[in-house]
A = this chain, B = another copy of it.
Amino acid sequence: MVPTIDFYFEFSSPYGYLASRQIEALAAETGAALRWHPILMGPMFKAIGSAPLTQVPLKGDYALRDFARSALLAGIPYAQPDPFPIATVAAARAALHAREHHPGTEAGLAKALYHAYFVDGRRIDRAEVVLDVAAETGLSRSDVESGIASESIKTALKQEVDDAMARGVFGSPFILVGDEPFWGFDRFDHVRKWLALQK
């Protein structure tokens, strides 16, 4: 049976962005199927009593440095965006709409939204910028606009976050292979080795 990599990510997460650049290669290399799960970290921060990394004393300065260094050492373009972090509900809804209604386009849209924010510094917290990016990937602007405004997508995103938390997801990026959880871009090598051990 082909294993599935469930890939959970929040659009304001630098390590989520880095993961989005290599997750398809990881799936291809390990022969796993890949499912993209846009989520929001807000409800998770509440549950674990945490806050965005850059707002934590001492850790904050380190985090900014580690974002850039992790990108550099992985050969991935990165420019620390400002403002940071941002609200990403429109971006997450758009990616979910793409997955649900235009399957096969969600990976391209997710990567384009991440690139817009973490390379070009575009304000993907704004719905109109999300729609611009969607249109640039070939999706219909008006279709995505009505999608992210629909009750069904709003509900689906809440459900996606609830389901993720029920499965133990508490960060971004987060990978589940069945019940096996992997938190962080720095766990890609664990996913690789763990999948090899299952064969």
Contacts and interface: CB of A to CB of B under 8 A. Distances in A.
A178 interface: no
22 contacts: A44-B58, A47-B57, A47-B58, A48-B56, A48-B57, A48-B58, A48-B59, A49-B56, A49-B57, A50-B56, A58-B165, A59-B170, A61-B168, A62-B170, A62-B183, A66-B183, A69-B190, A70-B190, A73-B190, A73-B194, A184-B186, A186-B187
Interface residues of A, number: 28
Given A48-B57, A59-B170, 8 more contacts: A48-B58, A50-B56, A66-B183, A69-B194, A73-B189, A73-B193, A73-B194, A186-B187
A166 to B, nearest CB: 11
